Amino acid sequence: MAASVSLGVGSLVWVEDPELAWLDGEVVEVNGDTIKVACTSGKTVVVKGSNVYPKDAEAPPCGVDDMTKLAYLHEPGVLQNLRSRYDMNEIYTYTGSILIAVNPFTRLPHLYDNHMMAQYKGAAFGELSPHPFAVADAAYRLMMNEKISQSILVSGESGAGKTESTKLLMRYLAYMGGRSVAEGRTVEQQVLESNPVLEAFGNAKTVRNNNSSRFGKFVEIQFDQRGRISGAAIRTYLLERSRVCQVSDPERNYHCFYMLCAAPAEDVQRFKLGNARTFHYLNQSNCYELEGVDDSKEYIATRKAMDIVGISSDEQEGIFRVVAAILHLGNIEFKKGKETDSSEPKDEKSWFHLRTAAELFMCDEKALEDSLCKRIIVTRDETITKCLDPHSATLSRDALAKIVYSRLFDWLVDNINCSIGQDPDSKCLIGVLDIYGFESFNTNSFEQFCINLTNEKLQQHFNQHVFKMEQEEYTKEEIDWSYIDFVDNKDVLELIEKKPGGIIALLDEACMFPRSTHETFSQKLYQTFKNHKRFSKPKLSRTDFTICHYAGDVTYQTDLFLDKNKDYVVAEHQALLSASNCSFVAGLFPPLSEESSKSSKFSSIGSRFKQQLQALLETLSVTEPHYIRCVKPNNLLKPAIFENKNVLQQLRCGGVMEAIRISCAGYPTKKPFDEFIDRFGILAPEVLDGSSDEVAACKRLLEKVGLKGYQIGKTKVFLRAGQMADLDARRSEVLGRSASIIQRKVRSYLSRRSFISLRHSAIQLQAACRGQLARKVYESMRREASALRIQKDLRMFLARKAYKELCSSALCIQRGMRGLAARNELRFRRRTRAAIVIQSQCRKYLAHLHYMRLKKAAITTQCAWRGRVARKELRKLKMAAKETGALQAAKNKLEKQVEELTWRLQLEKRMRADLEEAKTQENAKLQSALQEVQLEFKETKELLMKEREVAKRAVEQIPVIQEVSVIDHAMLDKLTAENEKLKSLVSSLEKRIDETQKKYEETNKLSEERLKQALEADQKIVQLKTAMQRLEEKFSDVESENQILRQQALLKTPVKRIADILSTPEKNQGLENGHHLSEENGANEPMSAMPIKEVETDSDSKMRKSHIERQYDDIDALIKCVSKDIGFSQGKPVAAFTIYKCLLQWKSFEAERTSVFDRLIQMIGSAIENQDNNDHMAYWLSNTSTLLFLLQKSLTSTGAAGAAPRRKPPPTSLFGRMAMGFRSSPSAYLAAPPFEVVRQVEAKYPALLFKQQLTAYVEKIYGIVRDNLKKELTPLLSLCIQAPRTSKGTALRSGRSFGKDSPSSHWQSIIECLNTLLCTFKENFVPPILVEKIFTQTFSYINVQLFNSLLLRRECCTFSNGEYVKSGLAELELWCAQAKEEYAGSSWDELKHIRQAVGFLVIHQKYRISYDEITNDLCPILSVQQLYRICTLYWDSNYNTRSVSPDVISSMRVLMTEDSNNAVSSSFLLDENSSIPFSVDDLSNSLQEKDFTDVKPAEELLDNSAFQFLQE
């Protein structure tokens, strides 16, 4: 198998070893065809050169994730790669599109959580680390894109992990396919819940596995057009029936038998069972219990699984009744009977089990005995009863047990499929095949023959797929592949299943003859296939035969072939059980149809299985296959043990080596152009000079080295077997010569460096000596100069001192004389000023005393006069108050009238609905009645307006208000008469119903119009109710106006002129939106203390317009204004400030019901519909957050501590409360403090609800902006995690590596995105705390994405890629520094995981670092799992730096094993945090009230007279 390559001394090779399969070593001697190899294990072997394989010296120590990337694709290379990855807990490896899964025999929960599924969702195949999720995702994507059904074939020997891999595949498909719920459970859940049931009845302990599936399973998962799971079906193949009766030591029978024996006591007594050791079908082996498995608990779990799947309690009772009956059947022994060749139960024990079995089957005891001991032969003339000898009776007993168990298993599968349900409209499906692998034991019977036939058929399908994939790659690369031979196993399949003349055909033929035995069958095989190259006869056996399968030779024992191949049901058994009184047992054996009962056509297990297999392959042939090969690393079923020979045999049985053989037949080595130049560019450096075309460079390089047989594709170089080793040998020679040159240059450099160092030391010594001498001369010169300087300064000091003493004496004499003159002048001035003050105070006192006496007399006179006038006006007001009741009575009458009109409209509506097909006369009457109601309403409204005008004039003239009746009795009489007419019309219409039915088609169009009119009537009823509410508010306004008019009357006093003078400066300050704001003064306050009221000169003209309509107009104007982008003032949003001032002015916060908050919320919701515009979203984030801050500072809940004393409750409606100004006191405004920006108000429920809704909108807008930024960064991050590929030759010629270059445009794009958003935030004055939180969460997202990609993609864990990512992170750090802490906050700290990981990657001497140094100094934030993942994935193709030492890896593995039971700590991926990281209090603390003192409101509203309060 080994390719002939030229090997020299020092070459690394693989040699075959009988114990370890393959050993690596180094060639130490070459003698012609023989090679002497020193193995790394210490052995020294001499082998032929044709029996060795070259070893890749540059292969990564932790292996490659795709073995097609191996430089040498051969058995030892594949085996070593799997072992290296298994040692690193990397249990999955690709071989092209094939996934090889090595069973770890330990829990690895971090590989299968939901976060891992999210990582593989939509990822390209091969982009992330190998995983079953990647295979499932590729199948799902291909199904959705191409609308082609897919199949995933999971194979491997018992214990390799096929079932677990199948569960993972179905989990991922359910994750991708959504939740198609049926009866409260998903289809995937139902399929998984069926596993415990099928495992209980179809799994058993074998030599190699404690839970081996003894049947094949094909799960079809059906999808609808949207890709959601819509149904599923389970197909089973070849249940091992013989295990029911025959068990080898140390294996076990099916689990259900042991579970039933360990069932609760009541079940055991009911089925008359006991210890498993007492039953013949179970005690043939010494193994009764499994380590770590409690059969009693498994029994309860299986019963619960049956409940979940949908098996009723009665059906469960029937199932276990049958299982118990099979156990009792096995204990029936036979002895010779009284007649010749007859038999009967052996003893009383056998009779007991016979009676128990008959009782459980609910059939006749005698009939059961006869079916076991006798046979009925039907001839043309008569029926003959034949007795069976004890041996034949035993075989009959076993045949009954096997057929009953087989029918029971088939019933379970059918019932589960019915429970799950299938989608007949499904066009696409994904099939998951979990089937037994190739088997070769010491004793191989009919089951192994069928299993290996299955694997031969699947291997042929696999070979065709692999060859097709190779062919597609060659075609894609446009190379010639026509001469490549395809390795096929068609001859083996023809040997087994050819008709006629195949082994199965000969077996069926032998079974049809009663006298055939396994000896005659064997002789027939020997004669038929004596010249077949795939068939042979063992030398030491007369009945065995050997078939050369693709995985090796297997010898089969034919002793039981004929018995196991027979598939007929004994007629006596069929008749016995179909007549059972147990409906479940009878259902297992339905009566045969007349045609089938009369038909004598023979049926066999082999033929039926071949048909099932053909149907399976037909299903697979119309699907796109995907392969998962499961491998069991050792037979001990323990972790961390990798047995080379065992794994190699499984790779051969799984077809992996066959796929490699197919690949080696063509071009096993496929290297991309850049990798080829990087590796072999040193063989011909001149071809790289001045050339940027990699294809041309590869061609010239291969021509230069004289290689033949290669081909150049579009993206890769394709090399034949052995050519890679030849190129590596030449490369080793070049590297050897280069090493000698480097050594020579290094020695020269070291010598020159030593000479230069000595010369430099001598020069330094000389310089030091000269310097010391110069310093001494300089010191003496400096001392002499210092002495001269001291003498000069001393003489100067003495002269200056004498001069200063003389000058000081003269100045002291002058100062004394001037001071004496100044003090005399000051004394004179003080005396003069004191005399003047005394005189002025005396005059002031006399004038003040006279003024106070006059003022006291004037005030006394005014108070007396005002009291007299006030008492007179009080008497008049008391009389006027009595007449207000008339208005209230009119209001009540009008309410009753409106209710009566509403009831009449509802009656008319019901009549119209019942008589929908009536003539147009009724509709016209109803319409006229409605118009009359509207007319009446208008008249009532006009009467009300007239009454208001009369009331105003009456108050001005102060007459007694006359009671005005608002009830029109004539109209009521008219309506009553009309109602009577309508009743008579109803009776007449009932008689004409028959006539109207004939005219239905003609009046159909008219009925639609009437329906429309009825809807309009409903709307008008609603309008009437609204008008009723408005009337109530108008009545309250009338009362308010009466109070105002009375107050105005009081103002017409002789002191009116003084009040006008005092109130003129504050005349318009008490009005806001046309209403006063001060509190209502109680009517019971002392009249003597009543303040002077302000008189509105234009109040009459303003009250002509309804207050309600005016307020609606004001709200509309506010909404229209703030819905636009009205900008900012003093760094604060104008819209938010304007809304707050209006709400505060209108006292909306104190209203118990108002619609202004709903209008604002609707406006904000419609404004943020365009979620993709970050500029627009930032504007509204600024406004909503600012408004929320103002609300947080203003609103206090009812009953808050420190509140003002309880006062009279204000009106409940917003507009009624705003009308309180007509009863307000203007003197309150005279004493009011200056306007405050933020005021504390007592909030009602609508205001608190508005605050909650506004908080939700702030969080929503925050999340939208943050998610928009993430969407922009996601495609850039996928490009930033891996450095662009550059040719090594180009890098060498440019004189620099990529790591020293500036970051690529992808990092710059990220910086630009961040800068753009930051500028947007600054332009819209978004609060800094929100900006900081957005960037902090964004950097956390960057950290998660980069770090997870680093752990999932091996090509990212390199030294050069670490330099690339580190340079990009430096740009992010620079951005954080430029953005300042106000906006960036702790963003840089959020990148701690990727920073520490990248910092570890760029360390040169990792192998010298201890584990404590890594965890304490370099990467303290990373977990053991994350460090282990990085260390095992690390590789360096540019600098050949090594990863950490094996001791550190071992330490990490020990710690991981200790924490393996903790699923949380085992996960190495980071989770993204998408929560809202701030609260309203955080936002409130970040802003200040004083920041809003200079904010200007919206200029558009200042022109509106109703918004003049905004100028305050």
Active site residues: 158-159, 163, 209, 212-213, 437, 439
**H helix count then E strand count, the chain:** 51, 32
3-state secondary structure of 406: helix
CB-count exposure of residue 494 (10 Å: 0-12, 13-18, 19+):
middle
CB-CB contact of 1336 with 1475 (8 Å): no
Angle at CA of residue 786, ends 778 and 779, nearest 5°: 15
Q: Give the whole-angstrom CA distance, residue 1261 versus residue 1478.
A: 13
Token pair 């002793």 is found at 559
Alpha helices in 221-373 (DSSP H): 255-261, 265-270, 295-309, 313-330, 348-361, 365-373
String of b and e for 992-1007 (b: at least 16 CB within 10 Å)?
eeeebeeeeeebeebe
Token pair 């990397």 is found at 90
Left if phi > 0, otherwise alpha if psi is -120 to 50, otherwise beta: which for 24? beta
Residue 979 neighbours by CB distance under 10 Å: 13
Q: Give the whole-angstrom CA distance, residue 1370 versus residue 934.
A: 78
Q: Give the whole-angstrom CA distance, residue 214 versus residue 77.
A: 33
CB-CB contact of 363 with 576 (8 Å): yes
Answer whether the bond into residue 390 is a cis peptide, omega within 30°: no
DSSP 332: -
CB-CB contact of 88 with 1432 (8 Å): yes
User: What are the tokens at 213?
Assistant: 């599936």
Answer whether the bond into residue 500 is a cis peptide, omega within 30°: yes
* Nearest to 151, CA basis, from 469, 428, 430: 430
Q: What is the DSSP string of 1456-1484?
A: HHHTTT-HHHH--SPPP--S----HHHHH
User: What are the tokens at 920?
Assistant: 């147009």
CB-CB contact of 1068 with 1102 (8 Å): no
Q: Give the whole-angstrom CA distance, residue 415 versus residue 311.
A: 8
Q: Give the whole-angstrom CA distance, residue 1250 versus residue 1263.
A: 20
Cβ-defined contacts of 703-709 (< 8 Å, 24+): 705/680, 705/730
Torsion 757-759-763-765 (CA) sign: positive
User: What are the tokens at 765?
Assistant: 């010594």
How far CA 1331 is from CA of 296, 367, 1170, 1204, in Å, comes to 61, 88, 20, 39
* Nearest to 901, CA basis, from 751, 815, 1021, 803: 1021
Angle at CA of residue 731, ends 725 and 732, nearest 5°: 90
Would you give the distance in Å from CA 2 to the centre of its chain? 49
User: What are the tokens at 711?
Assistant: 């081909």
Tell me the three-class secondary structure of 643-704, residue by residue. CHHHHHHHHHHCCHHHHHHHHHHCCCEEEEHHHHHHHHHHHCHHHHCCCCCHHHHHHHHHHH
CB-count exposure of residue 828 (10 Å: 0-12, 13-18, 19+):
exposed
Backbone φ and ψ for 28, nearest 5 degrees, come out as -110, -15
Residues paired with 628 in a beta bridge: 99, 154
